[in-house]
Amino acid sequence: MENGIKKISSSEVKSPKRRQIITKQAKITADKFLAASIGDVEWLGQSLMDGQDPCGFDKNGLTPLHLAALHGRLDCIRLLIEKYDVDVNVTSATGWHPIHLSINKESGTNALQCLKYLLECGADVNCMNDDNVTVSHQA
């Protein structure tokens, strides 16, 4: 079982109804990632109340906190850290931290606010990703 979804072999997925159920389960699991990316706090909160792991990784190895930081979604960052106690220094599959991702063109005008909040919550300014890129290198 992965991310709350039972793995099923292709031989078990013969009927269209089973395929629909499996597709629906995969979509539900992806809700938290999309909600964090677009900044929909209510949807993100509902997704996590439905039992989804707030620290689970998407297909790119990012958590909802990484995606919220990447897209400058301060309200989602706050929700994840304050209500769901997500570690502000969580690393992605390639070693990126939310603080790294908050400093980019995708974050737009919210980049500084997100960076400031992450620092207030204890983000490590000396952290490095797998390629030894620090936050100051990223800036």
When pLDDT is cut at 50, 70 and 90, the band that residue 9 belongs to is very low
pLDDT of residue 50: 73
- For residue 122, how many C-alpha atoms fall within 13 Å in the half-sphere facing its CB? 8
CB-CB contact of 88 with 98 (8 Å): yes
Residue at 65 is within a domain? yes
pLDDT of residue 64: 97
pLDDT of residue 63: 96
pLDDT digits (tens, 9 = 90+) for 74-88: 999 999 999 999 999
The CA distances from residue 123 to 14, 30, 32, 44, 97, in Å, are 48, 26, 22, 22, 9
Residue at 113 is within a domain? yes
Spatial distance between the Cα atoms of 13 and 15, rounded to a whole number of angstroms = 6
Residue at 101 is within a domain? yes
pLDDT digits (tens, 9 = 90+) for 17-58: 444 444 444 455 688 999 999 999 999 999 998 778 899 999
pLDDT digits (tens, 9 = 90+) for 97-121: 999 999 988 777 899 999 999 999 9
Whether 8 has a pLDDT exceeding 50, the answer reads: no
Residue at 43 is within a domain? yes
What pTM was estimated for this model as a whole? 0.77
> Looking at residue 107, which CATH number applies to its domain?
1.25.40.20
Containing structural domain, residue 106: 16-138
Spatial distance between the Cα atoms of 115 and 75, rounded to a whole number of angstroms = 13
Residue at 125 is within a domain? yes
Residue at 11 is within a domain? no
- Number of domains into which the chain is organized: 1
